[in-house]
Structure 1
Amino acid sequence: MCGIVGYIGSQNASDILIDGLKKLEYRGYDSAGVAVFAGNDIEVVKSKGRLADLEKKMEEVGKPQGFCGIGHTRWATHGEPSDINSHPHSSAHVSLVHNGIIENYLPLRQMLQGDGYVFQSETDTEVVVNLIDSFYHGDPLEAIREAVLRLEGSYALGIIFEGETDKVYAVRKDSPLIIGLGKGENFIASDIPAILGHTRDYYLLEEGEIAVLTRDHVEISDIYGNHVEKEVQTATWDLEAAQKGGYPHFMLKEIHEQPTAFHNTVSPRIVDGLPNFACDKICDEDLRRFERVVVVACGTAMHSGYVGQYLIERLARLPVTVEIASEFRYKNPILNRDKDLVIIVSQSGETADTLAALRLAKKQGVFVLGIVNVVGSSIAREADAVIYTWAGPEIAVASTKAYTVQISVMYLLAIKFAMLRGFADEAFAREYTSNLMSVEEHIAEILKDSQSFQFYASKLQNAHDLFYLGRGLDYALAMEGSLKLKEITYIHSEAYAAGELKHGPISLIVDGTPVIALGTQKSLFEKMASNIKEVKSRGACVFLICDDTCENTAQIADFVIKLPALPEIFMPLLSVAPLQLLAYYTSILRGCDVDKPRNLAKSVTVE
């Protein structure tokens, strides 16, 4: 979950590394550091805190001056955030940065201590640098190969060696790493935004591959020393897409990008008014044979799976289960290789638990469909088929537009499955597809009304506890709304199926407790209204989200957020923006760091 960068070229390495780390700070911001060749010596500067703290320290002690180096921004796993635990870590001959977790670090540490190595930090990373050092006898590649053969767990490593002033080494397993290709300069990075200011061309480093970077050349070999030929990839994002574009925060920018992201994802997959996945090289016969769908994901992506479950079961009568990726492979799941479709959902395409679930399903011979945003990511490469959500870069830790495009794909799949299984004729499918296409303009209209959401947020900012209620699809949305609020405001929040209130949770409602009630499902509105009255009678302050055809809402709720009316099955696509804006403005009013909430990182690449 950390971010790593490396540089070799003719520019000041410290400046390049800091700039790259700023683009990766969403991956971790507990501490940061750089190691740069200053002449023949490796100079390390690192600090607890944000990158601004590292830059301040550089002003005090002096910025390393050189043309080759590595950098790191950390999300702590082993050892608390501190100067000592910060990366880079160094031994007598080696400095490195690391993203991942070394699972067998304790026995390795004990072995190295027996060989005389003294450890300064609590990290698993210091074990790696000392292990490489122990095998180093003048050949960096041999030392790296010998070391990684003994590592268990996940890692992406950027490494420099004493005396090797014109080389950066990189190796990966289960953690993402790319090689940026410049002119007279080359880069390593955890993610594309770190290199976009310099190049859009890159190599994807595969499992177990080791790269050696000089200014003018990149040599890649496998763990056995065999040369590997790579295909040059070109990023579809530009630098502007990874900037704030005049918005105060990435999260607000990405909320407002949802109409465009929705259009970019849905439009290419509608041909002659009907869902069509030919652009994804998925034909009808690929989908027709399945008798069960298993959606596996984490966090926001998992919540998109719950929406997909409602849609596919309702329209196509195809059974769907949604599994938490971190639990999936430990429960010995029952999968049928001939009849089951496993859908893996991940914005980054690198989510560690989700990737492990994919590999388990593949091992059992089950067809795997990936829904991911990042082209060429691990999940995209390893799935049998992939549907890309063309959302563009999502930088804010709290996911917004990624969720919207993920559920938009679920709508397309649900309509397609309904047609293939005989539960929707062409007229029905065209009507539903037309309604889906109309969503874009409605989302744009909702996003124009920021002033109202600032007002509603002012009523939530001092809350200690908050509850979200919904039924059916609204319950699926309630889970995402609650997650978004707790992620960036630190208000304790829970989502409940409204009918479950009387089975325990209603005991938590006291005078003034905010309750956000989703009532967009017309067929369930009367039931929902009864649940609202139950919490109101116990003192709750209710915010009702419903469509603009609902009447007498002032008698039900304290505050009412009305949305354009669409058939109820499409309302989740409209409801999500208000939930995101409520969370965003509440976070602002509480003085929280919206884009970098505490203890969280954007891409969860460790278990």
Structure 2
Amino acid sequence: MCGIVAYIGPRQAYPILIKGLHRLEYRGYDSAGVAVLNSDLKLYKCKGKVAALEEAVKDKDLSGNIGIAHTRWATHGEPNDVNAHPHFSYSRNLAIIHNGIIENYAPLKNELINRGFRFESETDTEVLIHLIEDIEINEKVSLAEAVQIALNQVVGAYAIVIIDKNDPDTLIAARKGSPLVVGIGENEFFVASDATPIVEYTREVVYLNDEEIAILHRNKEIKIKTITNIEKTPYIQTLEINLSALEKEGFDHFMLKEIYEQPRSIRDSMRGRLKAREGIVLLGGIIDYQQKLVNAKRIIIIACGTSWHAGLVGEYLFEELARIPVEVEYASEFRYRNPVIYEDDVVIAISQSGETADTLAAIELAKSKGATIIGVCNVVGSSIARATHAGSYTHAGPEIGVASTKAFTAQVTLLTLMALMLADSKGTISKSRFNQLLHELDDIPGKVEETLKVNDKIIEIATVFKDVRNALYLGRGYNFPVAMEGALKLKEISYIHAEGYPAAEMKHGPIALIDEEMPVVVVATNKGTYEKVVSNIQEVKARKGKIIAIVTEGDETVKALADHIIEVPETEEMLVPLIATIPLQLLSYHIAVMRGCNVDQPRNLAKSVTVE
């Protein structure tokens, strides 16, 4: 991890590379570097942000129309100048950038050391480029062939781009388990981890598949072959990303912009799928597997982080509406515990990026047991979209802020549609109730827009609690996952320790933490177990805890108990997560800003977690 950009063509490479690195900053990183080839292969890199790299090279000659650039999220070796990418080969004729992990780098490194190689960095990446050069020289093969041979010897994940001092007309790119996309222009190629650095130059792209190598030669067509030397016909796709989605458009941060985009992103996730007036829910991406869902004895939802919280909401939805038992699993645990999977199980894999390594590995495990895999992700052409039997895109649009906001509500929206469609097909819901829920779901974007008007109130609350060290988030039923997601947001961007709990579990341990310094955020809308939540609030107040309550408009009972209330529009219980999540996102955002935190790029985090 984390960001790759490369260019070959008639333009000056450096401006494209540096702009591309800025586009990829949302992925999270700790160092940056660039290599450009003109009369010599010039390489510069440093710890810190892309701006620090720009400052370091401002007086350097970086002219040339072929180059590679990278932002690194440390795996092997601490974040520093030496471990940053790109890395030279031993002769310094080759340079490489790499996302992923070479798991067997240690024995490869020892073998190379025994043969006289010396290493400057602690990285697995430097081992790979030395290996490639060693094969190229000793086997007397081309660079592309050397890459092919080397990649048959490595174990792990990679997305790599290699530049050769002695061949200024060629870039070599390859991937396995880490995303890589090639943009095709007029006599030029762009390579990147995702489409964001490419979209302003070309709309024509090729997404590399696992174990594919792309040979990008100036003034020639793209050539793709596998590491087993099978030639592939490139499948060229057209990007649909709007460039404006990659800009802040007047907002102070991408996260705030994306919070405010949720009325639209929720609507876009329903567009063409929900037809409330006709009483229809249609998910074209899974229609061929709809009967598999209807006949499923069990649904297993696999995900990580925020997507796992969306899956927890999905568990309530599928069980209540479609009456199918659901298990929600951390993908990282699921893949290692020898789970019991049956051929009539349906596995729903959720991932914003569609590249989450643990989720991909869990998918492969479930597929090997014969289960049907349905994908829910946000990125067209992503690995999960291609690894699953069927699926649906959320259509949230690019999410640049590392802490997920609109992707979460889009995932919950899609899971709601899926559960409603399944309930209708199974006959587990009356037609009148089905139509009632469709109309209410159709109204949710407007209610989210109304909820966003609480922003000024939340700023006042954030001012009071910005310096706390701990926070507790409580909810019951559908709001339990909302509490967990709210706590995660606070942790991610403000670095305040926070925990989300089912409200009834508070008295089984967390209640010991409560004192007059502890803010307790309670989702207390007037549905379901409302009276029980009120009792939990009274338990907190008895211990002098400070209550911040999310309540339904007009609520008087909780208002009399809470220190601060945030009112949201009334809706169906199962749709409350789509509304109640919004103020929790805003609260985390404003607290983080007041604490001086880097909201869009929180420390140690990466947007697309492509390593285990």
Smaller-chain TM-score bracket = over 0.9
Match of 1:77 among 39, 52, 75: 75
Query: Using the alignment, how far apart are the partners of 2:257 and 2:397 within structure 1?
Result: 12
Deviates more, 1:152-161 or 1:219-228: 219-228
Contact 2:285 2:390 (8 Å CA) reproduced? no
**Paired residue for 1:48?**
47
What is the 5 A alignment of 1:498-517? 498-517=503-522
Secondary structure (helix, strand or coil) at the match of 2:547 reads: strand
Deviations along 1:485-525, one digit per CA (max 9) or x if unpaired, are: 10000000001111111111111112221110111252311
Q: Distance in 1 between matches of 2:556 and 2:28?
A: 47
Shift of 1:63: 4.1
CA–CA separation in structure 1 for the residues paired with 2:603 and 2:49? 12
Q: Does 1:236 align with 2:240?
A: yes
Match in the other structure for 1:176 = 179
Work out the CA distance in 2 between the residues paired with 1:449 and 1:518. Answer: 15
1:262 to 261, 266, 275: 266
Say whether residues 1:589 and 2:588 are aligned partners.
no
Q: Deviations over 1:557-583 (max 9, x none)?
A: 000111111122211111011110001
What SS does structure 1 have at the residue aligned with 2:272?
Answer: helix
Structure 1 counterpart of 2:459, from 450, 454, 474: 454
Report the Cα offset of residue 98 of structure 1. 0.2
Q: How does 1:286-297 map to 2 (within 5 A)?
A: 286-297=292-303
User: 2-side partners of 1:500 and 1:216: how far apart?
Assistant: 65
| Number of the residue aligned with 1:21 | 21
SS, match of residue 465 in structure 2: coil
2:190 matches 1:187: yes
How far does residue 245 in structure 1 lie from its aligned partner after superposition? Answer: 1.4
Q: Could you say which residue in structure 1 is the equivalent of 2:3?
A: 3
Residue 212 (1) aligns with residue 210 (2): no
Match of 1:423 in 2: 428
Superposition deviation, residue 474 in structure 1? 1.1
Aligned mates of 2:465, 2:238 — CA distance in 1: 44
Q: Distance in 2 between matches of 1:222 and 1:279?
A: 28
Alpha-carbon distance in 2 for matches of 1:320, 1:407: 15
Aligned residue number for residue 300 of structure 1:
306
Comparing 578-587 and 267-276, the one that deviates more: 267-276
Aligned residue for 1:119?
Answer: 119
User: Which of 140, 143, 155 does residue 143 from structure 2 map onto?
Assistant: 140
Is the 2:458–2:586 contact (alpha carbons within 8 Å) kept by the matching residues of 1? yes
Structure-2 separation of matches of 1:372 and 1:286: 20
Distance in 2 (alpha carbons) for counterparts of 1:279 and 1:140: 40
1:444 aligns with 2:442: no
**Which residue does the alignment assign to 2:542?**
537
Q: CA deviation at 1:555?
A: 2.0
Distance in 2 between residues matched to 1:403 and 1:513, nearest whole Å: 27
Give the conservation status (yes or no) of the 8 Å contact 1:209–1:220. Answer: yes
Counterpart of 1:253 (choices 253, 257, 267) is 257
Which residue does 2:169 correspond to in 1?
Answer: 166
Unaligned runs of 5+ in 2: none
Contact 1:268 1:279 in 2 (8 A): no
Q: 1:108-162: CA deviations, max 9, x gaps? A: 1100101111011111111111111111135101210111111100000010112
| Residue 318 of structure 1: how far off its partner (Å) | 1.0
Evaluate the alpha carbon distance shift between residue 228 and residue 279 of structure 1 in structure 2; reply closer, same or farther with a 3 A threshold. Answer: closer
Counting aligned pairs with the same residue, the percent is 47
Q: Aligned letter for 2:204?
A: D
Q: Distance in 2 between matches of 1:501 and 1:301?
A: 24
Q: Deviations over 1:540-560 (max 9, x none)?
A: 111000111422333210001
Residue 365 of structure 1 corresponds to which residue in structure 2? 370
1:565 paired to 2:563? no
CA contact (8 A) 1:274 1:429 kept: no
Equivalent residue, structure 2, for 1:414: 419
Q: Does 1:329 align with 2:363?
A: no
CA contact (8 A) 2:455 2:583 kept: no
Q: Find the partner of 1:314 among 317, 320, 327.
A: 320
Asked if structure 2 preserves the Cα contact closer than 8 Å seen for 1:521 and 1:569, the reply is no
Rounded Cα–Cα distance in structure 1 between residues aligned with 2:255 and 2:99: 24
Which has the larger displacement, 521-530 or 308-317? 521-530
Contact kept in structure 2, 1:3 and 1:189, CA below 8 Å? yes
Secondary structure of the 2:586 match is helix
Residue 606 (structure 2) pairs with residue 601 (structure 1): yes
Residue correspondence of structure 1 range 146-161 to structure 2 within 5 A: 146-161=149-164
Unpaired stretches in structure 1, ≥5 consecutive residues: none
Quote the residue 1:37 is aligned against.
37
What's 1:574 paired with? 579
1:485 to 490, 495, 510: 490
- How far, CA to CA, are the matches of 2:368 and 2:236 in structure 1? 29
Q: Which amino acid aligns with 1:395?
A: I
- Contact 1:105 1:127 (C-alpha < 8 Å) held by counterparts: yes
8 A Cα contact 1:474 1:518, kept in partner: yes
The more displaced of 243-252 and 280-289 is: 280-289
Q: Which amino acid aligns with 2:413?
A: S
Contact 1:159 / 1:170 at 8 angstroms: preserved in 2? yes
Further displaced range: 219-228 or 16-25: 219-228
SS in 1 for 2:525: coil
Amino acid at match of 1:126: E
Cα distance between partner residues in 2 of 1:74 and 1:273: 49
The residue type equivalent to 2:86 in the other structure is: P
Deviations 1:152-173 (A, max 9, x none): 0000001011211111110111
Whole-angstrom distance in 1 between the partners of 2:420 and 2:255: 30
**Contact preservation (8 Å) 1:96, 1:159:** yes
Contact 2:281 2:421 in 1 (8 A): yes
* Contact 1:14 1:63 (8 Å CA) reproduced: no
Cα deviation for residue 279 of structure 1 reads 5.5
- What secondary structure does 2:300 align onto? strand
Q: Distance in 1 between matches of 2:377 and 2:527?
A: 32
CA shift, 1:417, in A, is: 2.2
